[in-house]
């Protein structure tokens, strides 16, 4: 094939290629024209039959939640507390010089290493630690009385309250009027020169499962937060050894900081005080708990009374928290409350009640379960008399019992302040420590020396805490004097004076039974 032939073929291919491009462009323009025409045609069509869209006025929408929020928010306060913790240079519990100086190690060493203390990255010169916490409260009296949770304000050195209309940075100092450990409620008061807006209380007994409720408070410090939910359940007993904490359960979002804030019904009435959540993450998981307003009113009226404390009646018995029909059938007639334990020296003990007796009536009124019995007895004043009917060995009997003060009767179990117990020394402890005599049985059970007194409690920011005395330590001597009973300890302590050196010989908790004694010493403030 000559060169002319090749050139002619290439020229023919070129024209073909050019023609194909032109055809493609023509088709594209044609399609675009059709699309454009179709769109323009639709835009040009008449739409007089279309109904214009409009927004409804706000009044046409449900405003129940917003109205309640506007009504209640001015009565809900943000509570800030501050606690000053004095650093303890002896926190590792040492003082001795041996290789086994701190067998308890473990978690104490972890905290010392990362947060200061001997060997810690911050050294021993760390100043006072200021702890801050946030909570909520609700104003129930125009004079400045506020209901909140006990755990929001307990051990606080300073409590400050902020109202909704306060300018930024303005807070009011508050004082504690009274607290109740068994219900975790507290009453605080601020002094202001104006009448405060107050929340209206509703009757929690009228609430039903499924009713709408709002929770108002300051979760994570975000004040004036409103969440909605329903009453999920009533009568929830979720805390052990808290007979009077029967909660309203709700799925309204409750988070840290909501504590002490109100749970409100659709009438804008407070029917509960938000107290706790059930969660693996310490954040909202759909299960929150509020103390019913019925309980709140009972506690509030006593905390604001002359004694500023809640007095509940008790006869000194215990029974199974979970009702078991088999027990009452075995010991009674199928109904009533079967006694599982009687406190020695208690009114029940003095009246002749025994383990296995089944209480069936209180002042001739039948009681079906333990909750009814406790509610009835707790509502009675200490010193009053009550007639109890009971069954023993299949026979009906009765006795008269004088009601005692529950807080004093169960002081050690309830963790009440020892100064309030009749059997305890009225003078406050100079060292800030509560001790108990060691019985041989206790020493054997705990595998500790059967002598001395065991430390039951150490008051925060006290001399005992300063010298690193811990719960479970056993005090053997005070200033060379042997201590074998509470009386020995009280007698020696009463002779100590401010500015005096105090040296304790202590068997340290966690040490071997036949060793581990160290000195813990300091100058009494």
Q: What is the pLDDT of residues 164-183, one digit of tens each?
A: 888 888 899 999 999 998 89
Euclidean distance between CA atoms 244 and 236, whole angstroms: 11
284 plus 326 within the same structural domain:
no
The answer to whether residue 2 sits within a structural domain is no
- Output the CA angle 379-411-136, nearest 5 degrees: 70
- Residue 132 gets the label, from left (phi > 0), alpha (psi -120 to 50) or beta, of beta
Active site residues: 151, 184, 259
Residue with tokens 């009971």: 390
Q: Are the CB atoms for 79 and 202 separated by under 8 Å? A: no
145 plus 205 within the same structural domain:
no
pLDDT score at 24: 54
Residue 276's domain is classified under what CATH number? 2.40.10.10
H-helix or E-strand containing 362?
A: strand 358-362
The answer to whether residue 15 sits within a structural domain is no
pLDDT score at 256: 87
pLDDT one-digit tens code per residue, 127-136:
555 657 789 9
> Is 186 in a helix, a strand, or coil?
strand
Residue segments in the chain with a per-residue pLDDT below the cut of 70: 1-47, 56-62, 84-131, 239-243, 321-322, 411-428, 445-446, 513-516
229 plus 166 within the same structural domain:
no
H-helix or E-strand containing 42?
A: helix 3-43
401 plus 433 within the same structural domain:
no
Residue 431, φ and ψ in degrees, nearest 5: -90, -15
258 plus 178 within the same structural domain:
no
92 plus 186 within the same structural domain:
yes
Euclidean distance between CA atoms 437 and 448, whole angstroms: 13
169 plus 207 within the same structural domain:
no
Domain that holds residue 261: 200-303
The answer to whether residue 156 sits within a structural domain is yes
Q: Is the pTM of this model over 0.95?
A: no
pLDDT score at 101: 39
pLDDT score at 99: 39
286 plus 265 within the same structural domain:
yes
Euclidean distance between CA atoms 109 and 414, whole angstroms: 31
pLDDT score at 450: 75
Euclidean distance between CA atoms 502 and 29, whole angstroms: 103
């Amino acid at each position: 094939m000559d060169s002319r032939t090749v050139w002619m073929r290439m020229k023919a291919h070129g024209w073909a290629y050019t023609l194909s491009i032109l055809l493609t462009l023509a088709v594209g323009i044609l399609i675009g024209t059709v699309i454009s025409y179709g769109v323009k045609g639709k835009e040009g069509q008449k739409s007089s039959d279309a109904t214009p869209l409009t927004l409804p006025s706000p009044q046409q929408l449900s405003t129940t939640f917003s109205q309640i929020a506007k009504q209640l928010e001015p009565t809900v306060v943000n509570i800030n507390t501050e606690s000053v913790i004095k650093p303890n240079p002896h926190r590792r519990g040492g003082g001795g010089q041996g290789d086994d100086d701190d067998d308890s190690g473990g978690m104490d060493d972890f905290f010392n290493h990362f947060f200061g203390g001997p060997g810690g990255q911050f050294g021993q010169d760390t100043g006072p630690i200021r702890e801050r916490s946030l909570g909520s409260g609700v104003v129930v009296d125009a004079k400045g009385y506020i209901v909140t949770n006990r755990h929001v304000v307990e051990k606080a050195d300073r409590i400050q309250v902020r109202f909704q209309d306060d300018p930024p940075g303005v807070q009011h100092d508050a004082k504690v009027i009274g607290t109740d450990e068994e219900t975790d409620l507290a009453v605080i008061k601020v002094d202001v020169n104006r009448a405060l807006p107050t929340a209206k209380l509703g009757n929690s007994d009228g609430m039903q499962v499924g009713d709408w409720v709002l929770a108002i408070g300051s979760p994570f410090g975000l004040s004036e937060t409103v969440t909605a939910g329903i009453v999920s359940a009533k009568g929830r007993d979720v805390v052990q050894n808290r007979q009077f904490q029967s909660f309203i359960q709700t799925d309204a979002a409750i988070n840290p900081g909501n504590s002490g804030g109100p749970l409100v019904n659709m009438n804008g009435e407070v029917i509960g005080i938000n107290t706790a959540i059930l969660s693996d993450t310490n954040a909202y998981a759909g299960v929150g708990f509020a103390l019913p307003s019925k309980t709140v009113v009972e506690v509030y009226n006593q905390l604001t009374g002359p004694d500023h404390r809640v007095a509940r009646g008790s006869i000194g018995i215990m029974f199974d928290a979970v009702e078991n029909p088999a027990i009452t059938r075995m010991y009674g007639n199928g109904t009533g409350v079967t006694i599982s334990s009687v406190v020695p020296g208690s009114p029940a003990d003095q009246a002749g009640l025994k383990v296995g007796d089944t209480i069936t009536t209180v002042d001739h009124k039948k009681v079906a379960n333990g909750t009814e019995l406790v509610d009835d007895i707790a509502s009675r004043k200490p010193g009053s008399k009550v007639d109890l009917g009971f069954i023993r060995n299949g026979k009906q009997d009765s006795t008269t019992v004088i009601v005692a003060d529950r807080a004093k009767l169960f002081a050690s179990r309830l963790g009440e302040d020892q100064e309030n117990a009749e059997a305890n020394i009225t003078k406050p402890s100079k060292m800030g420590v509560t001790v108990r005599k060691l019985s041989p049985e206790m020493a054997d059970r705990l595998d500790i020396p059967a002598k001395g007194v065991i430390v039951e409690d150490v008051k925060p920011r006290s001399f005992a805490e300063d010298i690193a005395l811990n719960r479970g330590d056993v005090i053997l001597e005070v200033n060379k004097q042997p201590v074998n009973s509470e009386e020995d300890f009280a007698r020696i302590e009463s002779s100590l004076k401010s500015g005096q050196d105090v040296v304790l010989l202590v068997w340290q908790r966690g040490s071997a039974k036949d060793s581990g004694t160290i000195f813990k010493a300091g100058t009494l403030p």
